[in-house]
Chains A and B, each alone.
Chain A
Amino acid sequence: MATIKEESTGRLTHIWDSERVLAPVMIAPAILYIAVLVGVPFFLAIYYSLSDATTGDPSLNFVGLRNFLAVLNDSVFRRSLKNTFIFTFVSQLLVLVLAKVLALALIKEFRGKWLVRFLILLPWTAPIALGTIGWLWILDSIFSPIDWVLRYLGLLGAPDAILGTNSNLYWLGVPSLAMLSVIVVHTWRMLPLATVILLAGLTAIPQEILDAAEVDGAGFWRRLFQVMIPLLLPIMTIAVLFGVVFTFTDIAVVYVLTQGGPVHSTQVLASWAFFKGIEAGDLAQGAAVALFLFPVMAGVAALMLRLARRTEVT
């Protein structure tokens, strides 16, 4: 089919017609771009982590695994590693359960759906750094509206109040509450994405299957656990994988909310890498800290690949 005009015109048209030339030429810029600005920095990260580079003295001397040993011996790093896993695991567990409930509610038709949808999606659609500023003010040490409500209900700030006689809980000033706050904000942020992904999966389940199950006498819970959830498993996996990617590697929530404090109790890998690598100027150790993100991301990528392959075959 590509030969029709070839006789009448010259070589130039021939190039515009040749798939052998066009295909690689058109895809090359994308590959080049990614190779230079993702591939190169990735290997640089590994290289830095094995060197003694600092922002002041970027000359590289090979120091072997010294940075990794130094990092592993650092209690702040171990705390960050642990926190990263805790925050990701707990928030994703909450997200999965809540998203299921919310998706089942949102699949129904009702009035004002677009408004409800807009509001529910806000945590994901608005820039996370800005949304977190809202939380910063909600969790303020003195003017927190949550504290105000608790005081109003007599649960806080009265002589015999359950939550203590202080007039505030100091959400971001007490390690356990600060951790809880970070988890809540992560859950808040990822819930919309997981919900819409699940919703997409729910709408793809043929209604006949659910009807058939109902006719066969399966109640709501049996339909949920024995029909819907098994059918939704691949899409739930996708939702969780994206949730893990975004939560595990996020820095904005911790940076805006607590800066890793109080006393590093909410520090995570990403924020610790930033404080070490950029603010303190220790490129080598910063890179070493950030590289600990890699195994989990590689695992997620492998799982995604398997899912993609599997659905390709069917």
Chain B
Amino acid sequence: MASFKRLGRLGSLYGVLALFALFAAFPFFWMVITSFKRAHDLYTLENNPFLFNEPPTMEHLHGLFFDTLFVKYLVNTVVVGIAVVAITLVVAVPAAYSLARWAGRWGENLGIAIFLTYLVPPTLLFIPLSRVIGALGVQESLWSLILVYPTFTIPFCTWLLMGFFKSIPQDIEEQALVDGYSRFGAMVRIVLPLSISGILTVVVFAFTLSMHEFIYALAFISSSALKTVSIGVPTELVGEFFEWGPLMAGALIPSIPVAFLYTLFLDRFIAGFTVGAIK
């Protein structure tokens, strides 16, 4: 009896999980199917849409890579991502260290204030920022995104890194000072190498957050060749010819690697979100 009950419990557990996984992953599953289906198969209403009624094809992938600017969007996304990561590290690492080690009460408040700016929504700022971008002379260039994306990566990453630095015992630095390092030297030579995992987390998040970004790219960039995947795929591929095969492949290909990377680091990200609320 007992084992039947356990079996039932296990069954309902898997049932619940399967339902949720289906709901969450269905759009991506649908992208996979559509990417490899022949056009004739896709647009025949009588066909069962869940099956391959005709043999799979690579024609959509070929079209996506050779007949559209998709590769260009990927390159733009990576260029912006790397530059944003660099700016974020240069600004956030020292700020977080300073807040974690030297600031007293005011530092704590300053840390919270910096984190709160992460909550100022881009949808509130994009209109004035489009003028600021114009005034700086970087409109219609990837520089506009490279300059603006750190406004949301810096607050979040400073917050995350602050937590990491606080978790490194201060004794280690004091020992380094005794050994003759300067205060700054102790940070660079001793603390940073110990915080590699925290810094890696920040690299991943600065990159994924800038890849996810939509509104700034939509508002600042209108020439096709300068778009990132986040706006290039929905605006250009839909607009150009509205073929679902290449469009789905274009949505799927950038999503999977970034989702994988994000998932690997998610727990640390959540720890940053919930700092203080769990005791």
A residues engaging B (CB < 8 A)?
1-2, 4-5, 13, 16-19, 22-24, 26-27, 29-31, 33-34, 37-38, 40-42, 44-45, 47-48, 58, 98, 101-102, 105-106, 108, 110, 116-138, 140, 142-143, 145, 148, 188, 191-192, 196-197, 200-201, 204, 234-235, 237-238, 242, 245, 248-252, 255-256, 269-270, 273-274, 277-278, 283, 286-287, 290-291, 293-294, 297, 300-301, 304-305, 307-308, 311-312, 314
Contact = CB atoms under 8 A, between A and B. Distances in A.
Contacts of A249: 121-124
B78 interface: no
A103 to B, nearest CB: 10
Contacts of A238: 273-274, 277
B50 interface: yes
A32 to B, nearest CB: 9
Contact of B27 (A26, A108, A135, A251): A135
B45 interface: yes
B79 interface: no
Interface in B49-97: 49-50, 90-92, 94-95, 97
B112 A308 contact: yes
A201 B277 contact: yes
B194 interface: no
Contacts of A314: 279
B231 interface: yes
B97 A122 contact: no
Nearest to A185: B27
Interface in B134-192: 147-148, 150-151, 154-155, 158, 174, 177-178, 180, 182-185
Given A18-B183, A249-B123, A311-B277, A283 B129 contact: no
A64 to B, nearest CB: 19
Contact of A29 (B14, B94, B117, B131): B94
Contact of B247 (A137, A250, A274, A286): A137
B24 A251 contact: no
Contact of B182 (A13, A47, A131, A307): A13
Nearest to B253: A130
Contacts of B34: 137
A10 B229 CA distance: 53
Nearest to A312: B276
A254 B95 CA distance: 36
Contacts, number: 314
Interface in B1-56: 10, 13-14, 16-17, 20-21, 23-28, 30-31, 34, 42-43, 45, 48-50
Contact of B230 (A124, A127, A300, A301): A127
A35 to B, nearest CB: 10
Lowest 3 A-B CB distances belong to which pairs? A134-B27, A249-B121, A44-B128
27 contacts: A4-B178, A18-B183, A22-B183, A27-B110, A29-B94, A33-B151, A37-B129, A42-B120, A45-B128, A105-B17, A110-B10, A110-B17, A120-B20, A127-B254, A130-B254, A133-B251, A137-B247, A143-B43, A143-B45, A201-B278, A252-B214, A255-B218, A255-B234, A270-B215, A286-B127, A304-B119, A307-B276
B211 interface: yes
Given A37-B147, A122-B28, 16 more contacts: A1-B174, A37-B148, A37-B150, A41-B128, A44-B128, A47-B128, A119-B24, A130-B251, A138-B27, A143-B244, A145-B30, A245-B119, A249-B123, A278-B130, A278-B218, A301-B116
B152 to A, nearest CB: 9
A152 to B, nearest CB: 8
Nearest to B125: A41
Given A137-B30, A145-B49, A122 B24 contact: yes
A80 B218 CA distance: 20
A119 B256 CA distance: 10
A98 B19 CA distance: 11
Contacts of B196: none
Given A58-B131, A118-B260, A196-B270, A105 B13 contact: yes
Contacts of B262: 121, 124-125
Contacts of A5: 180, 182
Contacts of A44: 128, 131-132
A207 to B, nearest CB: 15
B123 to A, nearest CB: 4
Given A44-B128, A200-B278, A311-B279, A27 B27 contact: no
Given A23-B103, A238-B277, A293-B121, A37 B247 contact: no
A300 to B, nearest CB: 7
B255 A126 contact: yes
Given A30-B92, A45-B128, A145-B30, A129 B123 contact: no
Contacts of B27: 123, 131, 134-135, 138, 188
A294 B98 contact: no
B30 A138 contact: yes
B114 interface: yes
B20 A105 contact: yes
B225 interface: no
